[in-house]
Structure 1
Amino acid sequence: MNVYDVPGGKRNLGLDTIPRIFDGWEGRKILVGDMNVKNKAWDGNTTDERGKDVLEWVMERGYMVGNDCGTPATFFSTRGESWVDLTISENAQVNEWKVCMEEIMSDDRMIDFCLMGLPKMRRAVVTNVRGNNWDGLERMMSEYHPRRLNTKEEIEREATMLQERLREACMKFIPSSEKVMDMEGERWNVELESLRRQRSLRLERRRRKEEYRRERSRYKRMIRIARVTFLRERVERIQDENPWD
């Protein structure tokens, strides 16, 4: 369950509905999100009324707070820092909870943790290639006759309609089924997924740095042009008025 509660005020607005929904679930469950609550129980040096409400609810229900004390603040900006993001669970073991210091273009820092004891399975949609009805698919697509197109809007609208018809034809003539895949038996695993995500973040940071360098060079070039233009106009005006000025 991913939650967010707006900051400000003495009482949590979300606490009118969050506990009722979360308490009603059965089995393993986990709640994560920016609840904007402060309590020394999960770090920081401040406890507000909102934090007291959440801690009272957690203790009453016997939930576990996955936050590790001694970690960096989950929220950091020019206004200060605070520990307002929570990870609450029941019948689910949260391990290796940490606050990531990587830049994600947000005041709220990314939180990473592992869920232990969960089955390493996933569901995937599998297409039966041998059972495809290519004749039916071709017949359905050949019955589609686009009209004459004159504007860009008409072309885009027609492309959307053609894409939708192709999707319907695939669903009708290409059988598919849902299959449970064992992640332990596959080459792709949680560790590789984590590395892929880190690589994506590095590539994004590199792209932003290059964009910043280009804009900085463009900015300096425009300053030089503006300075030269100003001086040239100034000299020309002085020479026209009084060459001995």
Structure 2
Amino acid sequence: MIIEFIIAGIFTGFFSGFFGIGGGTILVPVLLYLGLDIKTAIGVSVTQMMVSSMFGSFLNYKKGFLKFNEGVFLGVGGAVGATMSGFIVSHLSSKFLGFMFLAILAFAIIKFFYAPHQSAEDNEINNRFLLFIIGIFVGSIAISVGVGGAVMITPILVGMLRYDLKKAVSLSLFFVVFSATSGFISLSSYGLVDYKLGFLVAAFSMIGTFFGIKTYHKIEAKNHKKQLLWWYVLIFILTAVKII
């Protein structure tokens, strides 16, 4: 059984780095299929996201893809919002949480479908308060269902605020550092984290993250968007089948 979790970590880490997501959209459904209940899966997923997003953001920064300006305000907002996750998870049913997860994926699919893969200009949002509020909303909802928030942040930045996809992907992964760390602390305070399993999966996810980041830097934005859309659709279908 340990081998399956190690493979899940490497697999999730790769796509976490490649798509700029925390990995919860992949890891939570995988853990459900491996027999974990959704609340345990969320705790393991948040642990993995915290570690892999830190490592992936470091790699993006070294390559010059990550700029901190907007990311800090998004991230701090996400951290504030994620502090509510322990309360939300402990007071809502597993089935309701599952449907929340599906709703977030549906949102991502719709927004990404209509969004351009490249912005005509380098849009930087001067309204830092807006970015902070977006971070709070995404952090409180996303962490509660075991995702880091990039699954929502990327569509918002690209689909609504017209960010370039590659820039949005790097910012989204950086956002996960804040939301996942805050969520990890919040979930831990409610006894909802399996530390041994969580850090096992997280440690091996860094291997996958390294190769995912390298691959993402080499691929064209248009193809990157198509592959991200297909992943969202696939994960939505697999999760819906499991929950319903």
Which is richer in strand? 1
TM-score normalised by the shorter chain: which range applies?
Answer: under 0.3
After TM superposition, the score normalised by the length of structure 1 is: 0.22
Q: Which structure carries more relative contact order (alpha carbon 8 Å, separation 6+)? A: 2
TM-score (norm 2): 0.22
